[in-house]
Amino acid sequence: MITRKAQKLLCVVALGGVTGAVHAQSSVTLYGLIDAGISYVNHAENASGGSSSLVKFDDGINGGNRWGLKGAEDLGGGYKAVFTLENGFGLADGSLSQGGALFGRQAFVGISRTGVGTFTMGRQYPFSHDYLNRYATGGLTAGDAYAYHIDTLDLLTSVRINNSVKFDSVRMYGFKVGAMYGFSNAAGEFGGSNGNNGKGGSSRTYSFGFDYRNGPFSMAFAYTDITYPLQEVPPLKLTLANVEPLGERDLRTLGIGAKYQFGSLLGYALWTNTRLENLDHSAATLNIYEGGVVYQISAPLEAALGYTRTQVRGSATGSWNQINSSVEYALSKRTSVYVLAIYQKASGSNDGVPVQAMIGKSTSYFGNSGSDAQNQLAFRIGMRHRF
């Protein structure tokens, strides 16, 4: 006869076994990144519109500050339910990034199938970011946000697509492919609207690409089309420093990148072409050419040097040449310190107004160089911690 005490013990053991089985089939992971440092630039626009030097605390440079939850549940038969909820924040004041959205960086749920791929729904990156980011200086080095192209209208690194469905395949014979569609969510406006219908605007997006890897060599292609990008939430910023090519009607961007690992030396190259169409059907075309090297000096020490040329032609004109250099030292697997030195030179004018320089993918870093300067020289020392 089993005593009451023995029965309780058996129940505890049984429940422990069930809990263990559940944990063995599903998981939830908390992760994040925190970056902070001190930056200097020789020319930044002051209150009068001219230029002055600037020393500032800046954060989220070597990776945007974030914390997130990602999880998976084994459904059997090779299927898994997956989700990601990722928050972006400012370390300087604790504010929410991405327009104040709680999970503004990413928020999606979906199903994955072994040997096939993953289908997800929610707020997600387009493939211009997913596939091409790893061929850009900003995606490969500690320069990150300062080394990316001005406002990243081509790689869309600061853009997430709302109301989107997305498929990303597994890799087969070195290839993986992906496609995405972002719904306008507006009745009678499947392709989006500029908001002149009195009902508010809406944006529609589609994106696709492929990624190939074979030993030390890899390459990728991606294309993204966003109609009425100013109706995105938050709206896209369609400027390049003080140049306004606009593109209120349509933004179409394509790119191809490649890299090769030569022992401790990585060489990479990237080209992107972006067409910004205005409501009157005039357009500006943005071409960006980029290349560089990353050298692993020792296990904890890495140095990088890159060059980027940006040209815009059409309804607006201008060009920018930028040299990016960085050194990063890993104190541990999760913590590193780094030093950046970046120089950018702008040239050209629009309606007699000289084109200004602007280092970084956002005006929130240094902003424009000011009306009396066409260059910026920036330095930064910082640290990054991942968890």
Mean per-residue pLDDT, 183-198? 80
DSSP letter assigned to residue 300 = S
Local confidence band at 324 (pLDDT 50, 70, 90 cut-offs): very high
pLDDT tens track for 211-222: 999 999 999 999
Looking from the CA of 285 toward its CB, the CA atoms found within 13 Å total 6
The three-state secondary structure class of 358 is coil
Assess whether the previous peptide bond of 126 is cis (omega < 30° from 0). Answer: no
Residues 6+ away with beta carbon under 8 Å from 289? 270, 271, 308, 309
| CATH 2.60.40.10 is held by the domain 28-386 | no
pLDDT tens track for 90-135: 999 999 999 999 999 999 999 999 999 999 999 999 999 999 999 9
The three-state secondary structure class of 82 is strand
**Which burial class, exposed, middle or buried, applies to 113 when counting CB atoms under 10 A from its CB (0-12, 13-18, 19+)?**
middle
Assess whether the previous peptide bond of 234 is cis (omega < 30° from 0). Answer: yes
Answer yes or no: is pLDDT of 307 > 60: yes
Q: What is the CA radius of gyration of the chain?
A: 23
CA dihedral 240, 243, 248, 254 (to 10 degrees): -40
Q: What are the Cα distances from residue 40, in Å, to 53, 57, 106, 235, 241? A: 8, 9, 31, 29, 18
Contact 232, 98 (CB under 8 A): no
Answer yes or no: is pLDDT of 43 > 50: yes
Domain boundaries, given as residue ranges, for the chain: 28-386
Relative to beta strand 301-314, strand 318-330 is: antiparallel
pLDDT, residue 19, reads: 40
Say what the pTM is: 0.90
Residue whose entry in the numeric block shows the structure tokens 């290839």 = 175
Take residue 285 and report the two structure tokens written for it. Answer: 């075309």
Cα 45 to Cα 365: distance, rounded to the nearest angstrom: 12
Q: What are the Cα distances from residue 284, in Å, to 240, 274, 300? A: 12, 8, 43
Answer yes or no: is pLDDT of 199 > 50: yes
| Secondary structure element (H or E) that encloses residue 10, with its range | helix 4-25
pLDDT, residue 4, reads: 52
pLDDT tens track for 45-96: 999 999 999 999 999 999 999 999 999 999 999 999 999 999 999 999 999 9
pLDDT tens track for 155-167: 999 899 999 999 9
pLDDT, residue 236, reads: 84
φ and ψ of 262, to 5 deg = -100, 80
Cα 36 to Cα 145: distance, rounded to the nearest angstrom: 12
